[in-house]
Structure 1
């Protein structure tokens, strides 16, 4: 069978109605046959531990239920990489640890990680003790990746089906409970004479109020109502005796234990030859309804006052208009809730909104299924933020979806922290690698004695200083990230002068001019001074060679904002640095040389501002920081803005 045939067989293995275990067993057997490897296995990775979920082949340590620390497993690197990990000669490969090699003794290995919506589940792997004569082909690696994807889809499908079954069971139990309530519901039928004495009461009165129906005959109705309802009961009787019907009059009755029972009374006159001779009616126990109404009021108040955004969308209208949004929705998005009714939520989308995420939400809505995702949305002021959106279909009694209940939660802070950790890892890994590698060469030079020791010492010292500086910047950035943002009123002139003084203390002599052309303060945190000093120091450090650098620091009004600019006369910012700051990502070909600009971006965007770096009109570089401006009479809370995306 060729590669295409194996792929078709793989699809067939997962297309049938077999359970997941059978599908995986067939797929693993197919993989071992295709790859000519003896062992195939599915793992679950959780909290640094690898567990064998299923396996084929004969290996003492690769059996269902066997576990080992992830750092002793071949899968340690597999869960870290995109695509597949293929090792032809494990004994000489840096991708397999010595501990893993000693533990499992596999000479050949290929595997791929299994990803679910909520993260990495584990891996699917194939291995054999002999080393492989030829590398794994692209088709073989794609086969393993396809298998991992199909397993992941089957796991998610199984979990989803379990969730649906659980929900169906819960709904079935609820339905049975409510049917029991309906079967045992009752109304009290009664008659009273013109004096207000009972002449008849149905058997249900014993179940509702505890009275023997016969014992009530002759007793005044007002003797069995709470004092708060005596006047209402008398007025209702008077209306009926005047020939009028009474509808949905709520009266508080007393049961045999003295407890209050709310009855909704509907009554009409009893006529004899055209003369009203009494009243008859039905009393329905509405105590449960009253309690439900009270709970509903509490729930409505809870929804209205919840911190997270809650919305309700008309599911019968193709435009999916909003029919309800709470105040929390307004706090999350910055929009006036009253102005949003009748609009589709697409107004929250913008330039950085991922179309695939939008498609995920749309697919869940069209399929009438719950859907949860995180998406970049835009507030009313145009600032982007990460929105965790959860949508749930709401059905009527006929099972028709009439509405969608939505929850919106601003998770920008968490996403910023995740992005920052990723960036720190990439920058440190790259820069440390670049700066540590020369030490090996320096050692070789010292050992051979063929180079000037003083020159080597200076070069080692220079590399060490770069490493220390990088470490200090990373520590500063981590410390800033751990602090909670504190919005303050900052004097623009003091921030500018303080930042310039701080930068001068750490830099070479230079000409620094300042121009503060705003009467407003800045609404940000005190760490803004540290960020601005970083920009000034960076401008001084990269000034023109052979002459004293010249830097201008300015603050000007820009609508509701105050713009801070740092302009230098240096050679201009490297295109790579500018791209990294603007787009917030680093690839193998796109590494920032330092963490200073990351620090500036973190500080500025956590206070709802923006940061850009680019070429100045007259040469050199200009860094622009925009933050909310605040006048003397405006409270800080009215101007303070929530954090926006870490890089934009």
Structure 2
């Protein structure tokens, strides 16, 4: 900083202090503080006029002014186009004019109206909006331009004025709000004293500060005796926890509605009160709680039995049915909505029919006989049975049938519970498969390794013993990795989503084509619909294409991937011109007779099968001049949600 700048800064210190002191005193009226700041500015800048303007709807209003100028007095106004401040509010920073007559920033109309030769101003911003300007001026032009220190001083005054305006608006709003709250309180208490319900108010500590007269009718207490006590003192022990939790919700700024709390009446009886309450705010902080309580003891008792029946049955997440035990066919007389969710049959469709409709070609007769015996003997029975949904997809159903007796001890109905346990059965069978395959292949490969290990010290001349040992080791490692991957997929949450075959099929196969440049991988998409399945479908397709590429002895193999519509499904067909999958492998995947599975290659196919059936689809392999693998999966249209299109898992071995 130059010596001249330093001198100017030091000489301005008293003016700045006066400005700071004026606005620091919150008890001082804003107009006095502004006038003090304007006077200090005139002295600091050696100018004759200082003024504060407000800008509204294209006009300038003089709010405060010091100095003697006929056009610059509180209350005068003019169009903004005729004001020196016009450019001040348009620019960032301060506008300083040494000679207004020659300055292009000052309009001729403004100069003609005010005749100010020198001018410096800064816009005033309050609550992020331009309020107006703080300006200093003189009828004479200046010999020297305004310094940076001059402009910073004007900016300081403008900022302090803006804060003062914000504070003034805040105080006015607070005063108005206080008056409104007082009026509301008077109205509230007037209504409360004549209300049939209990009106109350508590502080943030939970102490009652007001209770209406109705509390004497509801709980037997005089209202005045309750004031000062905590509301929890009159609750039953079991209701206290719910009440305190709701109180925390209110203190967090949220309302509560319809919470039912049990209070202790003065005579020792219990009264159920339905409470609605809202927080009271002051400056954004909860300062009290007010609410209303209605005695619903009689209503709650009337509804209790109905609520038990309806909530336990209609709202249960497991399917529930009631069958008529007096009819030899045991027709269904009631089914809840969850029954349709699991089986596909609506309550209307199943009413009057027997649950035998859920049985199908692979349902075990022994499981059916077990249920029939329980019904015939009128005793409770539970079994897991393979059933079929309305769309024909199989699922494992844990069925429990319980006889219901009337007052005379006669069985009149059978209460049935169904639970879709397909996921657990799938996992159970898959883990069993993995254990069996790993034990079987480990034994076979170790036998091979042991055989070659005998030649380590004296290898035959035409045998690479190390390589012969490495091959079964590599196969075991590959099998172990596939087993780990399949198990990890089985343990993941099922997350159906929308998959575009036109996007994920090319993206999945492109790296495989690059890794096998001599082969030809073609993708054809003949559907406009997406597929409703999990992201692991991409891994399943990758497994099929990889099998086709790596198990063909000739590198020029061709693999064709086609996605096409098939009714409510989208089919993905992977076709190759290789030697074809061994019949045993195809039979294992199709029939589920996993005891014949011997090779790691087949384990990869189980991963594909697991993925397809997990999302309600199916997987088939045929041998037609090569291998044709077909994945059938639920289709999803543009106007469908994932939830609407998603299907439940089907049995794994199908």
Q: Which TM-score band (shorter chain)?
A: 0.5 to 0.7
* Residue 412 (structure 2) aligns with: 402
* Residue 462 (structure 1) aligns with: 471
- Report how far residue 482 of structure 1 moved: 1.3
Q: Secondary structure at the match of 2:317?
A: coil
- Report how far residue 336 of structure 1 moved: 1.2
Contact 1:502 1:533 in 2 (8 A): no
* Residue 580 (structure 2) aligns with: 572
Residue 631 (structure 1) aligned with residue 633 (structure 2):
no
Residue 559 (structure 1) aligned with residue 562 (structure 2):
no
* Residue 313 (structure 2) aligns with: 303
Q: Secondary structure at the match of 2:360?
A: coil
- Report how far residue 289 of structure 1 moved: 11
* Residue 358 (structure 2) aligns with: 348
Shift in CA distance, 646/390, structure 1 to aligned 2, threshold 3 Å: same
Residue 357 (structure 1) aligned with residue 370 (structure 2):
no
How far apart, CA to CA, are the structure 2 residues paired with 1:258 and 1:450?
A: 99
Shift in CA distance, 433/509, structure 1 to aligned 2, threshold 3 Å: farther
| Partner deviation per Cα, 1:183-217 (whole Å, 9 max, x = no partner) | xxxxxxxxxxxxxxxxxxxxxxxxxxxxxxxxxxx
Shift in CA distance, 599/407, structure 1 to aligned 2, threshold 3 Å: same
Q: 2:340 aligns with which of 330, 354, 376?
A: 330
- Report how far residue 331 of structure 1 moved: 1.1
How far apart, CA to CA, are the structure 2 residues paired with 1:507 and 1:431?
A: 29
* Residue 397 (structure 2) aligns with: 387
* Residue 591 (structure 1) aligns with: 598
How far apart, CA to CA, are the structure 2 residues paired with 1:393 and 1:506?
A: 64
How far apart, CA to CA, are the structure 1 residues paired with 2:298 and 2:327?
A: 34
Shift in CA distance, 474/258, structure 1 to aligned 2, threshold 3 Å: closer
* Residue 481 (structure 2) aligns with: 472
How far apart, CA to CA, are the structure 1 residues paired with 2:586 and 2:651?
A: 17
How far apart, CA to CA, are the structure 1 residues paired with 2:466 and 2:517?
A: 23
Contact 1:506 1:537 in 2 (8 A): no
Q: Secondary structure at the match of 2:342?
A: helix
How far apart, CA to CA, are the structure 2 residues paired with 1:459 and 1:597?
A: 26
* Residue 649 (structure 2) aligns with: 643
Q: 1:518 aligns with which of 522, 527, 533?
A: 527
How far apart, CA to CA, are the structure 1 residues paired with 2:480 and 2:321?
A: 46
| Partner deviation per Cα, 1:332-361 (whole Å, 9 max, x = no partner) | 112211221101101111122111101110
* Residue 460 (structure 2) aligns with: 450
| Partner deviation per Cα, 1:505-532 (whole Å, 9 max, x = no partner) | 5657311111110011111111100000
- Report how far residue 615 of structure 1 moved: 1.6
How far apart, CA to CA, are the structure 2 residues paired with 1:609 and 1:503?
A: 25
Shift in CA distance, 325/290, structure 1 to aligned 2, threshold 3 Å: same
* Residue 420 (structure 1) aligns with: 430
Residue 620 (structure 1) aligned with residue 623 (structure 2):
no
Q: Secondary structure at the match of 1:552?
A: strand
- Report how far residue 324 of structure 1 moved: 0.6
Contact 2:513 2:520 in 1 (8 A): no
- Report how far residue 452 of structure 1 moved: 4.7
Q: TM-score, normalised by structure 2?
A: 0.53
How many residues align structurally? Answer: 369
* Residue 543 (structure 2) aligns with: 534
- Report how far residue 601 of structure 1 moved: 0.7
Contact 2:482 2:600 in 1 (8 A): no
Q: Secondary structure at the match of 1:388?
A: strand
Computing the radius of gyration from Cα coordinates, the structure with the larger value is 2
* Residue 499 (structure 1) aligns with: 508
- Report how far residue 290 of structure 1 moved: 7.5
Q: 2:377 aligns with which of 352, 356, 367?
A: 367
Long gaps (5+) in structure 1: 1-225, 228-254, 262-286
Contact 1:488 1:524 in 2 (8 A): yes
* Residue 481 (structure 1) aligns with: 490
Contact 1:576 1:592 in 2 (8 A): no
| Partner deviation per Cα, 1:413-433 (whole Å, 9 max, x = no partner) | 100100100110111111222
| Partner deviation per Cα, 1:22-46 (whole Å, 9 max, x = no partner) | xxxxxxxxxxxxxxxxxxxxxxxxx
How far apart, CA to CA, are the structure 1 residues paired with 2:616 and 2:327?
A: 36
Shift in CA distance, 311/440, structure 1 to aligned 2, threshold 3 Å: same
* 1:146-157 map, 5 Å: none
Q: Secondary structure at the match of 2:314?
A: helix
Shift in CA distance, 372/508, structure 1 to aligned 2, threshold 3 Å: farther
How far apart, CA to CA, are the structure 1 residues paired with 2:511 and 2:314?
A: 48
How far apart, CA to CA, are the structure 1 residues paired with 2:564 and 2:343?
A: 28
How far apart, CA to CA, are the structure 1 residues paired with 2:298 and 2:377?
A: 36
Q: 1:440 aligns with which of 426, 438, 450?
A: 450
Q: Secondary structure at the match of 2:541?
A: helix
Shift in CA distance, 258/571, structure 1 to aligned 2, threshold 3 Å: closer
Shift in CA distance, 522/591, structure 1 to aligned 2, threshold 3 Å: same
How far apart, CA to CA, are the structure 2 residues paired with 1:602 and 1:302?
A: 34
Long gaps (5+) in structure 2: 1-216, 219-264, 272-296
How far apart, CA to CA, are the structure 1 residues paired with 2:302 and 2:359?
A: 38
Shift in CA distance, 507/419, structure 1 to aligned 2, threshold 3 Å: farther
- Report how far residue 304 of structure 1 moved: 0.3
Contact 2:519 2:555 in 1 (8 A): no
| Partner deviation per Cα, 1:373-414 (whole Å, 9 max, x = no partner) | 001111122111111100101111222111110110111110
